[in-house]
Amino acid sequence: MKRKEAIAQITAPGQPYELRDGEMFGRGCRVFTHAPSTLRDLYLEARSDLPFIVYEEERLSFEEVWQLTCQLAHRLVGDFGVVPGDRVAISMRNYPEWVIAFNAITSVGGIAVAMNALWQPDEMAYALNDSAPKVMILDEERLQRFDAISPRPDLALIGARLADPTRKGVYHWGPLLDGPRCDTLPDVPLGPDDDATMLYTSGSTGHPKGAVSSHRNVISALLCWEVDAQAAVMTGVFDPPDPDVTAQPAALLGIPLFHVAGSHAVMLASYRSQRRLVCMYKWTVDQAARLIAEEQITQFTAPSAITGDLVEAARRQNLDLSSLKLVGGGGAARAPEQVRGIDEAFSQARPNTGWGMTETNAIGTGIAGSDYLGRPESSGQAAAVLDLRVVDEAGRTLGVHQRGELQVRGTSVIRGYWNRPDANAATFDGDWLKTGDVAYLDEEGYLFIVDRIKDLVIRGGENIGCGAVEAALLEHPDIVEASVYGVPDTRLGEEVGATLYVTGDIDPDALTAFLRPRLAAFMLPRHIHVADGPLPRTASGKILKRQLRDEAVARLTAT
C-alpha cells in the first residue's frame, strides 16, 4: 500500500481522523472532524494519574499538571485581568513551570508568547515592545537580563525558581499557586480559530517576526503526526505495535520549548499519547544517554547536530539505548551517513525526519524508517492537511524534478505575523506561503530541499537572519562593510561566517565582546575574515555574498 492510499483510508468519512473541507482565515482547507476544538480541550481530555513531567527529581502526573494549570489560569484571569487576545510572555528554560504557564495561558484565551531563552537584553526588549504582553513569566537568568532593559510600567512579572525569594516587584510562582488545588478552568469563550501562540522566527533582514497561530493550526499539526504514524504501519515502514508491551511511552525533551519542535512535536504531542516527558535544562549528550537508559525513553526528536551527538556517543561508549524506538529530526537535513548511523547504532530505533517551519507549526513533510533509509536526502511527503507546490520566479507551477521556490498551504499555516502587514504581503501569495527554500518534488511527491532563497544561516536547527548579524556588526565604529553567510560545519550543519571591511585593527575577542550584548550566543560569527578593501558588489551595488561565502569555504577547506 502506498502512503497516499493509507492516508485516504485513515481520513475517510466515519474514521477517527476523518477530514472534511472547511475554511479558516478565509482560506479553503481540510479540517479534522473529530479533533479537540481547542488546546484547552486537549488538556482536559488528557487528565489521568499517569506520570507526565519529569525534571531531575521532580515528577508531576497529568492530573497534577491539570490542577496547577487551573490554579494559574484563575490567577491570570482574576489577579492580572487577562482576557482573550491578551499576550502573556514565557521566557525560561525547560522547567515544568514552562508547560504549566503555556497551558494556563492558552486555556483562558491568551496568546502564549514563547520567547527565545537565549536572547540577550536588546532582543528581549524588542519582543516585549512588539508583542506588548500583559504578563511575563520568567526564571532567574531571564529576570537578570530583564533588569538590563527599560520595562513598561504596566507589565506584571511572575518569577519561577528565583534566587531571591524576597525579590520585590515580582509575583513569586510558589506563593501565587499556594492554596487548595482546583480542577476547573475559568469560564471564558474560546474557539478553534482564536489565536493561541506567538513564536518569533528569524527573517532574512531586521528583527524577528511574531508568527501567530490559532488553536486549530496547532491541533491540526498534532493530529497529522498521528496520521503519519498509522500510515507508516499500514505501509510497512514501521512494525505494528507489540500488544504485549504495556509500558508507558516516554520522550526526552532535549531541545527548547520556545521552538515548535520542542513545544509541538515533543510536549504537546505527549498529551493524547499519554507519553511521559523527561525534561533537560539544556542539551548534554552524556546526561541524555543516562536519562534514556534510566527513564527507558522510547522517542527522541532533535536537530541533526544533537541526534548526531547521540549516535557518536552510542558508538563510542557502547551504550545500551535499546529502549529507543524512534529518533526524529528536523530543522536541518541530516547527512545520509547519520541516517544510516541511527539505524545501526540503536538496536530498536528507526530514524525519521521532516520539513516544516514555525509558520506551518512544525509540520510540512515527513519520512521515516525504511522509506527514509532508502531516500536519506529527502524530507518526505506532504502532511495530510497541507499542499505543496514548486514555482518559478514568475509564480508558474513547475513539474517534477524542476527546481524552484517551495510554497505550502493548508490548515496548519499561520494567520500571519503580528503587526507586520508588510511581512504578510511579502510572504503570502494568495493562500500559498512562500518558504524561501529552493526545492523539487519527484514523481511520488517526495520533497528534496536543495538551497534557500532567504538570507539565513541554519545553525543546529536555529534560524539566524544574516541581516540582523550584519546590523550588529555595523554598529562597531571601525566596521565599514559587513557580509554574513553560512559556512559548512560537520556537527551543526552551518556556522556563521562574516567578511568585513574595516578602517582599523579588529581584535576577534574584542569584537565578540562588543557583539555579546547585541546578539544571542548562537548568532555570534565563528569565522571572521577581514578583507583588504571594500567588499565586491554587483553593478546595482549589492554585495556579492555568494562569492564571499565561496571564498570563505575555500579558506576553511585549505586549513
The 3-class SS string of 18-44 reads CEEEEEECCEEEEEECCCCCCHHHHHH
In a domain, 443, yes or no: no
Same domain, 266 and 137: no
Same domain, 184 and 86: yes
For residues 538 and 548, the answer to whether their CB atoms sit within 8 Å is no
CA distance 25 to 518: 36
Same domain, 23 and 69: no
Q: Which of 362, 383, 404 is the last residue of a domain?
A: 383
For the four alpha carbons of 378, 383, 384 and 389, in that order, the dihedral sign comes to negative
For the four alpha carbons of 513, 517, 519 and 521, in that order, the dihedral sign comes to positive
**What's residue 318's pLDDT?**
76
In a domain, 414, yes or no: no
Residue indicated by cell numbers 510540512: 364
C-alpha angle 262-363-457 in degrees, rounded to nearest 5? 70
Same domain, 166 and 291: no
Mean pLDDT, the chain cut into blocks of 10 residues (559 residues total) = 94 98 95 98 98 97 98 96 98 98 98 95 94 97 93 90 92 91 94 97 78 98 96 90 86 95 96 97 91 94 84 79 87 72 78 92 92 90 97 94 96 97 94 94 93 82 84 88 90 92 89 92 93 79 84 90
The model's pTM is 0.87
Nearest by Cα to 530 from 548, 543, 510: 548
Torsions phi, psi for 211 (to 5 deg) = -85, 120
Task: Report residue 492 as a C-alpha cell.
Answer: 551543526
In a domain, 447, yes or no: no
Q: Which of 383, 399, 426 is the last residue of a domain?
A: 383
**What's residue 463's pLDDT?**
83
**What's residue 151's pLDDT?**
72
Same domain, 375 and 244: yes
For residues 375 and 350, the answer to whether their CB atoms sit within 8 Å is no
What single-letter DSSP state applies at residue 6? H
Question: Directed axis angle between helix 96-107 and helix 62-78, to 10°?
Answer: 60
**What's residue 490's pLDDT?**
82
In a domain, 415, yes or no: no
CB burial readout 308-321, b (16+ within 10 A) else e:
bbbbebbeeeebeb
Same domain, 152 and 9: no
In a domain, 408, yes or no: no
Nearest by Cα to 282 from 302, 311, 268: 302
For residues 236 and 501, the answer to whether their CB atoms sit within 8 Å is no
Query: Which of helix, strand or coil describes residue 513?
Result: helix
Q: What is the CATH number of the domain that holds 183?
A: 3.40.50.980
Query: Which of helix, strand or coil describes residue 89?
Result: strand
The neighbouring-strand residues paired with 17 are none
**What's residue 280's pLDDT?**
96
Same domain, 321 and 255: yes
Between the two ends of the chain, the Cα-to-Cα distance in Å is 50
Residue indicated by cell numbers 503580528: 418
In a domain, 449, yes or no: no
In a domain, 502, yes or no: yes
Q: Give the number of domains in the chain.
A: 3
**What's residue 204's pLDDT?**
57
The neighbouring-strand residues paired with 451 are 438
Same domain, 243 and 376: yes
**What's residue 332's pLDDT?**
64
Same domain, 91 and 197: yes
**3-class secondary structure for 421-479?**
HHHHHHHEECCEEEEEEEEEECCCCCEEEEEECCCEEEECCEEEEHHHHHHHHCCCCCE
CA distance 282 to 292: 15
The answer for 81, left when phi > 0, alpha when psi is -120 to 50, beta otherwise, is: left
CA distance 361 to 385: 12
Same domain, 45 and 143: yes
Q: Which of 160, 193, 211 is the last residue of a domain?
A: 211
Cβ count within 10 A of residue 548: 20
Q: Are strands 135-139 and 87-91 parallel, antiparallel or unpaired?
A: parallel
Domain holding 485, by residue range, is: 458-558
CA distance 547 to 497: 13
Task: Report residue 503 as a C-alpha cell.
Answer: 578602517
The number of helices, as runs of H, and strands, as runs of E, in the chain is: 18, 29
CA distance 207 to 420: 11
Nearest by Cα to 515 from 467, 475, 457, 477: 475
**What's residue 331's pLDDT?**
66
CA distance 26 to 49: 41
Cβ count within 10 A of residue 293: 15
Cβ count within 10 A of residue 34: 9
**What's residue 203's pLDDT?**
64
Q: What is the CATH number of the domain that holds 364?
A: 3.40.50.12780
Q: What is the CATH number of the domain that holds 477?
A: 3.30.300.30
Task: Report residue 155 as a C-alpha cell.
Answer: 507589565
Same domain, 14 and 136: no
**What's residue 541's pLDDT?**
63
In a domain, 425, yes or no: no
CA distance 107 to 218: 14
Task: Report residue 502 as a C-alpha cell.
Answer: 574595516
Same domain, 156 and 230: no
